Amino acid sequence: MGAAPAEPVEWLDLVNERDEVTGRVTREDAWAWRLPVRVVNAFLVNARGQLWIPRRTQTKRTFPGCLDMSVGGHVESGESYEQAFRRETREELNLNVDDLPWREIAAFSPFQTPLSTFMRVYELRADEAPAFNTADFSGAEWLTPAELLERVARGDPAKGDLAELVRRCYPT
Protein backbone atom coordinates (compact mmCIF):
# COMPACT_ATOMS: atom_id res chain seq x y z
CA MET A 1 0.00 0.00 0.00
CA GLY A 2 1.29 3.42 -0.92
CA ALA A 3 1.13 6.49 1.24
CA ALA A 4 -1.64 9.00 0.70
CA PRO A 5 -0.61 11.75 -1.70
CA ALA A 6 0.69 14.83 0.07
CA GLU A 7 -1.33 18.01 -0.16
CA PRO A 8 0.31 20.65 -2.34
CA VAL A 9 2.24 23.30 -0.46
CA GLU A 10 0.30 26.55 -0.24
CA TRP A 11 2.62 29.58 -0.46
CA LEU A 12 1.57 32.88 1.06
CA ASP A 13 3.18 36.30 1.01
CA LEU A 14 4.85 37.20 4.30
CA VAL A 15 4.19 40.87 5.05
CA ASN A 16 5.52 43.48 7.45
CA GLU A 17 3.50 45.72 9.79
CA ARG A 18 2.62 47.99 6.82
CA ASP A 19 1.24 45.04 4.78
CA GLU A 20 4.23 45.17 2.41
CA VAL A 21 5.49 41.86 1.02
CA THR A 22 8.83 40.83 2.54
CA GLY A 23 9.02 37.18 1.49
CA ARG A 24 7.11 33.94 1.15
CA VAL A 25 6.03 31.39 3.73
CA THR A 26 4.00 28.19 3.68
CA ARG A 27 0.52 28.34 5.11
CA GLU A 28 1.47 25.81 7.77
CA ASP A 29 4.48 27.84 8.92
CA ALA A 30 2.49 31.08 8.88
CA TRP A 31 -0.06 29.64 11.30
CA ALA A 32 2.43 27.66 13.40
CA TRP A 33 4.57 30.76 14.00
CA ARG A 34 1.69 33.31 13.86
CA LEU A 35 3.40 35.20 11.04
CA PRO A 36 1.65 38.14 9.35
CA VAL A 37 -0.05 37.07 6.12
CA ARG A 38 -3.10 38.18 4.14
CA VAL A 39 -6.65 36.85 3.97
CA VAL A 40 -9.95 37.86 2.45
CA ASN A 41 -13.39 37.51 3.98
CA ALA A 42 -16.79 38.37 2.56
CA PHE A 43 -20.37 38.46 3.69
CA LEU A 44 -23.30 37.71 1.43
CA VAL A 45 -26.07 40.09 2.54
CA ASN A 46 -29.74 40.00 1.51
CA ALA A 47 -32.21 42.89 1.18
CA ARG A 48 -33.40 42.28 4.78
CA GLY A 49 -29.88 42.91 6.12
CA GLN A 50 -29.29 39.26 6.98
CA LEU A 51 -25.90 37.63 6.53
CA TRP A 52 -25.61 34.25 4.83
CA ILE A 53 -23.65 32.30 7.46
CA PRO A 54 -22.38 28.83 6.55
CA ARG A 55 -21.19 26.06 8.85
CA ARG A 56 -17.84 24.49 8.02
CA THR A 57 -17.74 20.77 7.34
CA GLN A 58 -16.44 18.45 10.06
CA THR A 59 -13.55 17.47 7.78
CA LYS A 60 -11.95 20.95 7.74
CA ARG A 61 -8.43 21.08 9.21
CA THR A 62 -9.18 24.21 11.19
CA PHE A 63 -12.43 25.19 12.89
CA PRO A 64 -14.37 22.03 11.86
CA GLY A 65 -18.12 22.36 12.31
CA CYS A 66 -17.89 26.09 13.10
CA LEU A 67 -19.95 28.99 11.83
CA ASP A 68 -17.99 30.92 9.21
CA MET A 69 -17.92 34.03 7.06
CA SER A 70 -19.80 33.65 3.76
CA VAL A 71 -16.43 33.56 1.97
CA GLY A 72 -12.95 33.33 3.41
CA GLY A 73 -9.47 32.33 2.39
CA HIS A 74 -5.81 33.15 2.16
CA VAL A 75 -4.33 35.49 -0.39
CA GLU A 76 -1.85 33.29 -2.23
CA SER A 77 1.68 34.45 -2.94
CA GLY A 78 1.69 36.97 -5.80
CA GLU A 79 -2.09 37.39 -5.70
CA SER A 80 -3.94 40.64 -4.89
CA TYR A 81 -6.69 40.85 -2.29
CA GLU A 82 -9.30 41.29 -5.02
CA GLN A 83 -7.99 38.33 -7.01
CA ALA A 84 -8.22 36.16 -3.87
CA PHE A 85 -11.76 37.43 -3.18
CA ARG A 86 -12.84 36.53 -6.73
CA ARG A 87 -11.17 33.08 -6.55
CA GLU A 88 -12.51 32.19 -3.11
CA THR A 89 -16.06 33.30 -3.99
CA ARG A 90 -15.97 31.11 -7.09
CA GLU A 91 -14.49 28.12 -5.18
CA GLU A 92 -16.68 28.30 -2.07
CA LEU A 93 -20.00 29.71 -3.32
CA ASN A 94 -19.86 28.85 -7.05
CA LEU A 95 -20.53 32.54 -7.76
CA ASN A 96 -18.89 34.94 -10.18
CA VAL A 97 -18.58 38.31 -8.41
CA ASP A 98 -19.15 40.10 -11.71
CA ASP A 99 -22.74 38.79 -11.60
CA LEU A 100 -23.53 40.48 -8.25
CA PRO A 101 -23.22 43.89 -6.65
CA TRP A 102 -20.17 43.88 -4.38
CA ARG A 103 -17.81 46.26 -2.61
CA GLU A 104 -14.88 46.28 -0.25
CA ILE A 105 -16.17 47.34 3.18
CA ALA A 106 -13.08 47.17 5.43
CA ALA A 107 -9.36 46.58 5.71
CA PHE A 108 -7.79 45.44 8.98
CA SER A 109 -4.32 44.97 10.43
CA PRO A 110 -3.42 42.43 13.13
CA PHE A 111 -1.13 45.13 14.57
CA GLN A 112 -4.07 47.51 15.16
CA THR A 113 -6.93 45.08 15.94
CA PRO A 114 -7.39 41.75 17.72
CA LEU A 115 -7.92 40.10 14.31
CA SER A 116 -5.55 37.29 13.34
CA THR A 117 -4.15 38.57 10.03
CA PHE A 118 -4.17 41.40 7.53
CA MET A 119 -7.54 41.19 5.87
CA ARG A 120 -9.80 42.87 3.42
CA VAL A 121 -13.53 42.38 3.91
CA TYR A 122 -16.02 42.45 1.06
CA GLU A 123 -19.79 42.50 0.87
CA LEU A 124 -21.83 40.76 -1.82
CA ARG A 125 -25.54 41.49 -2.28
CA ALA A 126 -28.00 38.70 -3.14
CA ASP A 127 -31.34 37.41 -1.90
CA GLU A 128 -30.80 33.83 -3.06
CA ALA A 129 -28.69 31.37 -1.14
CA PRO A 130 -25.76 30.19 -3.29
CA ALA A 131 -25.16 26.63 -4.47
CA PHE A 132 -22.17 26.39 -2.12
CA ASN A 133 -19.29 23.92 -2.26
CA THR A 134 -20.28 21.00 -0.02
CA ALA A 135 -16.62 20.16 0.58
CA ASP A 136 -16.35 23.50 2.43
CA PHE A 137 -19.74 23.91 4.09
CA SER A 138 -22.31 21.49 5.52
CA GLY A 139 -25.15 24.01 5.51
CA ALA A 140 -25.99 27.68 6.01
CA GLU A 141 -28.65 30.08 7.19
CA TRP A 142 -29.56 33.75 6.95
CA LEU A 143 -29.01 35.56 10.26
CA THR A 144 -29.06 39.21 11.28
CA PRO A 145 -25.77 40.40 12.77
CA ALA A 146 -27.45 40.52 16.21
CA GLU A 147 -28.76 36.96 15.85
CA LEU A 148 -25.33 35.71 14.84
CA LEU A 149 -23.57 37.44 17.73
CA GLU A 150 -26.17 36.04 20.16
CA ARG A 151 -25.60 32.51 18.85
CA VAL A 152 -21.84 32.85 19.25
CA ALA A 153 -22.27 34.33 22.74
CA ARG A 154 -24.44 31.32 23.69
CA GLY A 155 -21.62 28.98 22.66
CA ASP A 156 -22.36 28.03 19.05
CA PRO A 157 -18.82 27.33 17.78
CA ALA A 158 -17.54 29.91 15.31
CA LYS A 159 -14.40 30.58 13.33
CA GLY A 160 -11.96 32.72 15.31
CA ASP A 161 -12.45 36.16 13.75
CA LEU A 162 -16.17 35.85 12.87
CA ALA A 163 -17.76 37.65 15.83
CA GLU A 164 -15.15 40.43 15.85
CA LEU A 165 -15.58 41.00 12.11
CA VAL A 166 -19.35 41.20 12.41
CA ARG A 167 -19.06 43.65 15.34
CA ARG A 168 -16.69 45.85 13.32
CA CYS A 169 -18.47 45.65 9.94
CA TYR A 170 -22.13 45.45 11.02
CA PRO A 171 -22.46 47.21 14.40
CA THR A 172 -25.82 46.54 16.03
Q: Report the sign of the C-alpha dihedral through residues 33, 16, 36, 15, in that order.
A: negative
C-alpha distance from residue 37 to each of 89, 108, 109, 171 (Å): 19, 12, 10, 26
CA dist., res. 123 & res. 36, Å (int): 23
pLDDT at 2: 54
> Which of 61 and 72 is assigned the larger pLDDT?
72
Residue 102: strand pairing partners: 124
Q: Label residue 5 by pLDDT band (50, 70, 90).
A: low
Residue 101: strand pairing partners: none
Percent of the chain with pLDDT over 70: 96
Model confidence at 26: pLDDT above 80: yes
pLDDT at 4: 53
Contacts of 40 (CB under 8 A, 6+ apart): 71, 72, 73, 75, 81, 84, 85, 88, 119, 120, 121, 122
pLDDT at 72: 97
Strand (E) or helix (H) holding 15:
strand 11-15
Residue 79 identity (one-letter amino acid): E
Least confident window among 7-11, 74-78, 85-89, 110-114: 7-11
Q: Output the average pLDDT for the chain.
A: 95
**Cβ atoms of residues 120 and 19 within 8 Å:** no
